[in-house]
Structure 1
Amino acid sequence: MSKSELDEIINRSLELRKKYHELELTHHGSHWSVEEDALAFLTDAGLVGRNIMSQQERWPKAHSASELEHKIGESIWWLIVLADRSGMDVKAALENFLSKTEKLLDQ
């Protein structure tokens, strides 16, 4: 994935979040807080775990590859949103994590 493709994904993610904010206003009269966004992410991340367990035949629910793909994509989307709402650059956060971890493992 090129840098411009990642930038496009980030922009699309943030635009989609704006549309969800509009729905929240319509249905609840206010936008979700950052804490509510974090809880929604954790819920979806948990569903990734359940879907992986199902895929690996370690959970009794029937496996759905499309549901797993959707929840992985949604979890990535939430991380982009949470980074933005926390005032962080998601690309810098990922780069810093990778560099730090690579250094630790190269020692």
Structure 2
Amino acid sequence: MEINELTERAHKIRTAYHNLEIKQDGKPWSAEQDALAFLTDAGLVGRLVMAQQGSWPSENTEFSLDYKIAESIWWLSALADANEIDLEAALTDFLRSREQHLD
């Protein structure tokens, strides 16, 4: 999948969730709430990696590691969108900077 497709699909899904949040809470989640949701999922990624490596109990795990990594990428795309960040440009700039740093 190309980054632009990810961004478009992620935006549509986030918009649908905003509509659900409006029905439930009377307003959509803020960018801060989205960031906290991302951090929760990022923490679960850590726990699932630990479980996969045998240093954390793996029973009663509701989600798989690949699912939570993908969900974290989705959250990052949503956060970039909410903050008017071009995800593809940001990734390109970051990778270029790291490559130059390591040369």
Q: For the aligned residues, what is the CA RMSD?
A: 1.5
Question: Secondary structure of the equivalent of 2:38?
Answer: helix
Q: Name 2:100's counterpart in structure 1.
A: 103
User: For residue 11 of structure 2, what is the amino acid of its counterpart?
Assistant: L
**TM-score, reference length from structure 1:** 0.89
1:69 and 2:63 aligned: no
Mark the runs of 5 or more structure 2 residues left unpaired by the alignment.
none
Larger RCO (CA within 8 A; separation ≥ 6): 2
What is the CA–CA distance in structure 1 between the aligned matches of 2:24 and 2:77, rounded to whole Å? 24
The 3 A distance-change label for structure 1 pair 63 and 91 is: farther
> Out of 85, 88, 92, which is 1:88 matched to?
85
Deviations, residues 9-34 of structure 1 (Å, cap 9, x unaligned): 21111000000000000000001000
Q: Name 1:48's counterpart in structure 2.
A: 45
What's the offset of the Cα at 1:63?
Answer: 8.4
User: For residue 82 of structure 1, what is the amino acid of its counterpart?
Assistant: L
Between the two proteins, the alignment pairs up a number of residues equal to: 102
Deviations, residues 26-70 of structure 1 (Å, cap 9, x unaligned): 000001000000000000000000000000001023386x62111
What is the CA–CA distance in structure 1 between the aligned matches of 2:45 and 2:94, rounded to whole Å? 22
1:79 and 2:55 aligned: no
